[in-house]
Chains A and B, each alone.
Chain A
Amino acid sequence: MLPNAPQSFRISISMACLALFFPACQESISINLPDEETKVVVEGYIEQNRPPYLFLTQTTEYFGPTDRTAFEDSFLHEATITVSDGLQTTQLEEYCMNDLSSLERSLFAQATNIPVVELRQANYCVYSIPREDLLNGTYIQGKVGRSYTLRIEYRDEVFSAVTTIPEPVPLDSLWFEVRDSELRDGVLRAKIIDPATPGNHYRWQADVIGKGSGFVAPPISALSDETFNGKAFEMTHVHGADPFTTQDTRFYGSGEKVAVKFSSIPADVYRFVRNFENETANNGNPFAAPSFPVSNIDGEGVLGIWAGYGATYDTILCR
């Protein structure tokens, strides 16, 4: 999203300046960081027509082990989690991917939109609607305009959060623009007509069909209508680096079929996402202050987000 570009420009300028003119040297160092108490991390979603699901993990020591076991150990088990829309309260069930049959796993993938390839990768543990409901297809689903209250009891702590599924705003048009005819790649561009009410926030995610990476966000995926309220707005997106395959697929290849998920998100989710994106993009940049993805979860020692998505989906063949 280009209107958000100044910060990244500024950073690249500062870095380029230094790189161009000064013989900087870099060395790997070891740092003794103080021990911090671990915190609980919530990553929960509810989208219209889909069931709620949530990852409950904990922070790990910065230089702690990075193997797969360590990753799988970061999942927190045996929490009591409920989601309520004010009329009905559902208790979520915890299950880990290794315990699921492949049918259950693909049903879960379908229901949540997490790529099944990824779910096979490691033993993800997730809290979502009970397994029987998943098989029956009779689970609670998000509804546009409704608020959802999340309550988590873990050990002696109670965390809670509320999110809303905002009215989706569909893309007015979506097209592929060739960047380099020799390399046969390009960017996706889209136009939206922003509703007259201020305070709309959006998020763009896209999935190159067949790559199995699921919906991936580009480096700057969230935008606010603050600068274009009530107007038509055109955006340009590259394909983000896929965190699961670590391939840096910046541009879309000609001939690729891309599914685009364009969602309306609440303001607090927007701020969380932008800070999260800033933080991952900065990654130690000295010119940027640390970003703090401000959590919307209430409670002591908790991080993360409970996010409502009012999503719309489109598909485009890049050519």
Chain B
Amino acid sequence: MNQKLVLNPNLRHLLLGFLLLIVWSSTAEKSLAQRFTLSGYVKEAATGEVLVGANVYVKELLKGTTTNNYGFYSMTLPEGNYTVVISYIGFTDTSRVLELNKDIRYNMDLKSKAVLTQEVEITGERADKNTEDAQMGVVELEMKQIKELPAFLGEVDLLKTIQLLPGVQSAGEGNAGFYVRGGGPDQNLILLDEGVIYNASHLFGFFSVFNSDAVKNIELTKGGMPAQYGGRLASVLDVSMKEGNNKNYEATGGIGLISSRLTLEGPIKKDTASFMISGRRTYIDVLAAPFIPDSSAFSGSGYFFYDLNGKANWTISDKDRLFLSGYLGRDIFTFSNNEDDFKVRVPWGNSTLALRWNHLFSDKLFANTTFIYSDYEFAFEATQSDFDFKLFSGIEDWNGKVDFNYFPSIRHDVKFGLHYTFHTFTPSSVTARQGETTFDTGEILKQYAHEAALYINDEFDLTENLRINAGVRYSGFRQIGPFSRFVKDEIGTSIDTIDYGRGENVATYTGLEPRLTVRYRLNSRSSLKAAYTLNYQYIHLASLSGVSLPTDVWVSSSDKVKPQRGVQYAVGYFQNFAENRWESSVELYYKDMTNLVEYKEGSLPEDDIADNADNNFTFGDGTAYGAEFFIKKRTGKATGWIGYTWSKTTRQFDDINNGEAFPARYDRRHDLSIVLAYQLNERWSFGGTFVYGTGNALTLPVARYVIEGRVVNEYTDRNGYRMIPYHRADIAATLHGKKGKRFTSDWVFSIFNIYNRANPYFIYFDNTGNLSQGTLDIQAYQVSLFPILPSVTWNFHLK
């Protein structure tokens, strides 16, 4: 990585070799008989929703492919008669004999399995995906499964469910974000219909922004990130919204303890165009309002959040399809203390709008062109008497990309494309007014940047047993003016300002990111895999707080902040049992990260005001390694999984902790999750989860001293103390209502924290009394948030 483009000679050879390999292996089959292409879309018969990852298998060749993110597949085969089997878990297999003597477009509608034989499925993937795919560290989850599991206060939350997977951790309730293989919460790329979501949490992480009724598909990539993804070091969470039933109108909804949901979907034009619109709002504020009398000092205080998801799609022709999807979510907190004439309003949230165009250039070349607007903003507005204070921070992206999927032969799945984003960062903008005086707080501190990437990726069989997923991504980033750099002396006083004009180059970085995953099949039930990935991350989230908060600011790479760089090595052994009903894996990973960002020790919250946020940063490195064990029962009346992770992750910053390495905030030695689902009969199903994790690392005072008569804490090594372990079990029971012709409903009863474990949310120290009089009292307290909490939710479906 350099200011200038310098290709490492090794990487250049790698790139060249890789391109040659694609050309060679795709021409190697040319000598065979005449070849034709079989392609098409796989959809759900009842709703017209495309099925992602459906298995398309050619019996005679013992070969197959899967549908891509838009439900499209393509296979180029020698002329002949073939039996094509299309399967997707939860749906009835469909097979058809085709005479392939020309290019054939074969679209398939799959029917749901009959109700009586329907079983709870863990995922919608094909049976041997675990051992067959070259990719590793990829997990797909199905909303249906997630909905059967216990949910906190009845709010089904896919972020909570992915935290039950090995290698993915939560920091406990009340902490936003998730942590993948030792990476920070900003190192996850979270996509909702390809739009970036910068803060996926409501209410400090108690709920996620994903409304379960609006979501169709979830895929998490925690290692071996393919080249079509980039810009983050740790993981990609790719969430797709439902497209909307293009045959019939439907309404889905639910009423829960703290929120309600309603989703409407249906055809705009039957079989051609459909829409889906979904909303959710919490009503704690509404419920609490009657209990806060108008005379109360705090009347007018409250909190709520809402989400709106909307999507429309239009099949213009057999070759063209348009999608328009959007998301808007807001948390709004108001606080008012009438006695002090003090009012605060704090809104924050994400919005995205994406327009996508699928186009088939040929039966072998699928293209998706996307334009996305995405935005995250946080505002804080306070007034007291004649003093007004407004703080705003956020990030806004204009994003355009073209992605191609090329299927030259049945052995290849080639992806290539070009991504471009224009970022506008507002790390912190403050306006303040007191009486007649307006404060100069530096409105001009926005950062503007171009980010672009070019990639190519191919998954192909080199030999019968050796499958390779290889790719390379070339990314670049340029911060441009207008921008003002405040030059500070060592104690933080401005001594100079460097001004950059509009469009002027502030800093430019480029990097080549090779990605390689190799699968070697040992036999039909087991395989070995290995992965190497190199990623650059050009945007950074800086947090002054001990936990992730919506106040954390996103900042650009700049003349001061270099891109983060992460290299991950992983190896794994994958084994399926009992005709793929059980699958298991062991994965080991090692990760090396450089140019990580933290605030300097002694930074003050007001330091961001009227200053470049990155003037207060310090830079360091990180290391993470671990072992993940996973065993899963995929089908049957009882399904579920056990995941266990042993891991260690440390950080080293020259200016923090006296330069000594310290455990990352989310370093967790042991992490265990047990997930069970059981379908008793047509009416009743049950779910249960158990989690155990090493206590969070935190910095505690070890000594105290006195300044100006007040007790000041002197801290241990950074994150040198551990809270007690976190563990908790939750259960849920779902009573499915009788299936009516048009109306069905179910009741979900769940109990959170069934054995009432007092898990520490935080530990704090309180001192009262007078030191010089000898009446000082020092106590440590542990605060736990949630005792045993039962909840009930009623869901309905109307069609």
Contact = CB atoms under 8 A, between A and B. Distances in A.
A113 interface: no
Interface in B310-354: 333, 335, 344, 346
A132 B141 CA distance: 82
B714 A286 contact: no
A27 B781 contact: yes
A16 B335 contact: yes
B610 A227 contact: yes
Contacts of B441: 227
A303 interface: yes
Interface in B675-730: 699-716, 720-721
Interface stretch (B67-75, B431-439, B503-511): B431-439
Contacts of A278: 604-605
B203 A234 contact: no
A255 to B, nearest CB: 22
A292 interface: yes
The number of chain A residues touching the other chain, given as a range, is: 35 or more
Contact of A289 (B284, B546, B779): B546
Given A41-B706, A233-B437, A303-B714, A198 B493 contact: yes
Contact of B303 (A5, A21, A74, A226): A21
B286 interface: no
B549 interface: yes
B293 interface: no
Contacts of A246: 768-770
B288 interface: yes
B344 A226 contact: no
B492 interface: yes
B708 A43 contact: yes
A36 B717 CA distance: 10
Interface in A257-311: 267-268, 271, 274-276, 278-280, 283-294, 303-305
B706 A286 contact: no
Contacts of A226: 494, 609-611
B382 A5 contact: yes
A31 interface: yes
B714 A36 contact: yes
Interface string B760-775: 0111111111111111
Interface string A223-236: 00011110111101
A246 B773 CA distance: 11
A2 B389 contact: yes
B705 A59 contact: yes
B294 interface: no
Contact of A66 (B382, B546, B774): B774
B766 A283 contact: yes
A6 B761 contact: no
Contact of A5 (B389, B546, B703, B779): B389
A40 to B, nearest CB: 9
Contacts of A121: 772-773
A4 B608 CA distance: 11
A36 B763 CA distance: 20
B559 to A, nearest CB: 21
A157 interface: no
A172 interface: no
B656 to A, nearest CB: 10
A165 B570 CA distance: 59
B712 A276 contact: yes
Interface string A1-37: 0111111011011101110111111111111011110
A275 B602 contact: yes
A59 B546 contact: no
Interface of A: 2-7, 9-10, 12-14, 16-18, 20-31, 33-36, 38-39, 41, 43, 57-63, 66-71, 74, 118, 121-122, 124, 198-199, 217, 226-229, 231-234, 236, 243-246, 267-268, 271, 274-276, 278-280, 283-294, 303-305
Interface of B: 174, 203-204, 284, 288, 301-303, 333, 335, 344, 346, 380, 382, 384, 387, 389, 391, 430, 432, 434-435, 437, 439-441, 491-494, 544-547, 549, 551, 599, 601-602, 604-606, 609-611, 699-716, 720-721, 758, 761-787
26 contacts: A4-B606, A5-B382, A6-B380, A6-B389, A6-B430, A6-B606, A10-B549, A21-B303, A22-B785, A22-B786, A28-B780, A31-B721, A122-B773, A198-B493, A226-B610, A226-B611, A227-B441, A227-B609, A228-B440, A233-B437, A243-B708, A243-B710, A276-B710, A280-B712, A286-B764, A292-B715
